[in-house]
Amino acid sequence: MISGAPVTLSLEASVLETLRGFYALWPYLILVAGILLVLVVDWFQSSAKSQRVSWIALLACLGSAVSLTKLWPTVLDRPVLLGWNALVFDPFSVFFSLFFLVATFIVITTSRTSKELAGRRMGEYYALLLTATLSAAFLAASQNLVLLYLSFETLSLSSYVLAGYAKDRREGVESSLKYVLFGAVASGIMLYGLSLLYGMVGSLELRDVAKMASQPSLSFLLVMVLLMAGFAFKMSAVPFHFWAPDVYQGAPTPVTAYLSVVSKAAGFAVFLRFAAPMLGVPLFSQAVEEMPKELLFAFLSLLWILATLTMTFGNLVALRQTDIKRLLAYSSIAHAGYMLAAIVAHNQAAYEAVVFYFVAYAIANLGLFFAAQVIHADKGTFDIAGFRGLVHDSPVLAASIAVLLWSLIGLPPSAGFMGKFFLFVALVKQGIASSIASFYYVLVLIALANSVISLYYYIGIIRQMAFYEPSTMLPVCRPTFTARFGLATAAALIVAIQLYWQPLTDLSRAATGSKTPVRAVASYGLVNSTPPRNLAVGDQQ
């Protein structure tokens, strides 16, 4: 009854829709209120007590996260569209918003104890952090190119300032400089791609863009290449990764953790949403248009090459690093490569796997950057030498770091292993179903080979911690109870996910829409006017 002709809403129904929209906006409004409050309160505080405003930022994150969990069942039933379909709150965007908020919460708690940030005015810092989170959330929810570009830029602009927040340090200025130059060029290229896309499609809505993809054209591929510049910059994928090592090294450690988790996840989220209809993955509302075979293959080949280069480059260069932040930067480039590899599989399982992988990756990375910060606070160095003999200083700290590294390698028992497992399963599944199986199998083999390479440098740190005597030149590391507790929790989570992964797979399945009941999605067509084509069968009730 719904499929086919557009349905106009009755007045009552449209009022209800609007109210639902405002309900969905609550979490974001709380965040905005937090941003403003942080700035205003900081105004009235002395510099010495500036760190206090972090409580407001923490509360804003918490409030926003709680209202997001309230929103979750509603959007699971039926996504909410806002602002003339510019914003869509479906489980995908709500999940990513929640993910960003939890990560931001952790980053704020680590910022509070950071020595690199001590003695600075923190009002702007927390305001920018929350702004970046807000725009990351909107980036995951944007269905319109204007909003996509605006939130992309807001995220970038706040990250530029955050990266150079320690502006009296040489590395701070340098990292900000690199970030601004690379970011501005990447977003400029992306913007040009968007303008060409608009010229071809004649609409700024992602839905219409997806329709355009069903007509074979070389210029569409060119546009995708231009847009990939922007996405790859956010994901820190080759060839737009050059900024990552320097920025990760120069930025204050909490900011580095933020960039490696939230900013990267935002890049992946927007790319997943943007590419879903073209790759043939029904991500909720989006109508799946068959991309012509040759065009799809060309696009997949592009991703294939990017993924291979990204993980191989990241892992090979990481081998030679002696600075822990730089090493983690290259490792995070490599991880972007693994996730890009999963997207090549372009099926539902791949999308789930990326979401799952990101959670595992985020726990490990947030934990490791925090560990680097803790060690730096006592030993005053980010060199790997600081890890030497750590097990004598603090066994809990060393053991937790070892578990987190283990997870990044992807060895059992750890969340990282499950993440990699799901990635490979998605690829193999696609390989079995496809006529060009080796296209996918070779990618799996390359990813496996890369995991073996990464083993070397991750295990190197573990070896330094466990089997070496601590350097006598450096002071002993005495982490506080909170630091040890936080890291032990992260490590426990990593192991717990391996033992009991069902909740997380369910969550990632819900977030990418595999389990959304057909009825609920079909009624979505009411607002959307063009119901998803693949779900038309379910409309008969």
In whole angstroms, give the CA distance from residue 375 to residue 246. Answer: 20
Closest separation between CB of residue 185 and another protein, Å? 6
Q: Name the residue type at position 114.
A: S
Cα–Cα–Cα angle for 486, 491, 496, nearest 5°? 120
Closest CB to another protein among residues 149, 369: 149
**Exposed (0-12), middle (13-18) or buried (19+): which is 292, by Cβ within 10 Å?**
middle
Residue 233 beta carbon to another protein: minimum distance, rounded to whole angstroms: 14
Query: Of 28, 149, 268, 501, which lies in the binding site for another protein, with binding defined by CB under 8 A?
Result: 149
Residues near 153 by beta carbon (within 8 Å), at least 6 away in sequence: 187
Residue 425 touches another protein, criterion: CB under 8 A: no
Give min distance, CB of 242 to another protein, in A.
Answer: 13
- What minimum distance in Å lies between the beta carbon of 159 and another protein? 10
Distance CA 164, CA 295 (A): 41
183 versus 538: smaller Cβ distance to another protein: 183
Dihedral sign for Cα atoms in the order 114, 117, 123, 128: negative
Residue from 40, 66, 146, 305 in contact with another protein (CB under 8 A): 146
Give the residue with the Cβ less far from another protein, 162 or 444: 162
For CA atoms 33, 508, 78, 2, the dihedral sign is positive
Of 192 and 421, CB closest to another protein: 192
Give the residue with the Cβ less far from another protein, 188 or 412.
188
Least separation in angstroms between residue 192's CB and another protein is 4
Tokens of 236: 């820190």
- Give me the helices (H) in 394-499, please: 395-409, 415-433, 437-467, 481-499
Q: Do the strands 87-89 and 80-82 form a parallel or antiparallel pair, or are they unpaired?
A: antiparallel
User: Considering the complex, what minimum distance in angstroms separates the CB of residue 151 from another protein?
Assistant: 11
Examine residue 413 and say whether the peptide bond preceding it is cis (omega within 30 degrees of 0). Answer: yes
Report which DSSP code applies to 468. Answer: S
Q: Which residues pair with 144 in a beta bridge?
A: 205
CB 177, min distance to another protein, A: 6
Q: At what angle do helices 91-113 and 502-512 cross, to 10 degrees?
A: 120
Contact 536, 3 (CB under 8 A): yes
3-class SS of residue 383: strand
Q: Which of residues 191-220 bind another protein (CB under 8 A)?
A: 191-192, 194-196, 198-199, 202-204
Q: Phi and psi for 205 in degrees, rounded to 5?
A: -90, 140
Is 442 a binder of another protein (CB under 8 A)?
no
Nearest distance in Å: CB 180, another protein: 6
Vertex 230: Cα angle to 229 and 231 (nearest 5): 95
Q: Out of 61, 145, 223, 390, name the contact with another protein by CB under 8 A.
A: 145
Q: How far is the CB of 57 from another protein (least distance, A)?
A: 21
Tell me: does residue 84 bind another protein (CB under 8 A).
Answer: no
Q: Which is nearer to another protein, 229 or 510 (CB)?
A: 229
> Which residues inside 323-362 make contact with another protein, applying CB under 8 A?
none
Give the interface segment with another protein, choosing from 13-21, 88-96, 144-152, 321-329 (CB under 8 A). 144-152
Nearer to another protein, 239 or 517 (CB): 239
Q: Which of 200/396 has CB closer to another protein?
A: 200
Residues pairing with 81 in the sheet: 88
CA distance 399 to 380: 21
**Which residue number, 153 or 539, has a Cβ lying nearer to another protein?**
153
C-beta of 40 vs 146, nearer to another protein = 146
Contact between 127 and another protein (CB under 8 A)? Answer: no
- Under DSSP, is residue 503 helix (H, G, I), strand (E, B) or coil? helix
**Are 141 and 272 spatial neighbours (Cβ–Cβ below 8 Å)?**
no
Minimum gap (Å) between residue 35 Cβ and another protein? 16
Query: Residue 87 belongs to what H/E stretch?
Result: strand 87-89
**Smallest distance from another protein to CB 150, Å:** 6
295 binds another protein (CB under 8 A): no
Cβ-based nearer residue to another protein, 185 or 476: 185
Query: What CA–CA distance (Å, rounded) separates 178 from 171?
Result: 10
Please answer whether residues 404 and 367 qualify as being in contact, where contact means their C-beta atoms are separated by less than 8 angstroms.
yes
Query: Does residue number 258 form part of the binding site for another protein (CB under 8 A)?
Result: no
The encoded tokens of residue 111 equal: 């910022």
- Report the nearest approach of another protein to the CB of residue 259 (Å): 16
Measured CA to CA, the distance from residue 232 to residue 368 in angstroms comes to: 24
Residue 151, helix vs strand vs coil: helix
- Site map 151..190 versus another protein, x via CB under 8 A: --x---x--xx--x--x--x--xx-xx--xx--xx--xx-
Q: Nearest distance from residue 196's CB to another protein, in Å?
A: 7
Which residue number, 109 or 154, has a Cβ lying nearer to another protein?
154
Q: How many residues bind another protein (CB under 8 A)?
A: 31
Which residue, 174 or 378, is less far from another protein as judged by CB?
Answer: 174
Would you tell me which residues interact with another protein (CB under 8 A)?
145-146, 149-150, 153, 157, 160-161, 164, 167, 170, 173-174, 176-177, 180-181, 184-185, 188-189, 191-192, 194-196, 198-199, 202-204
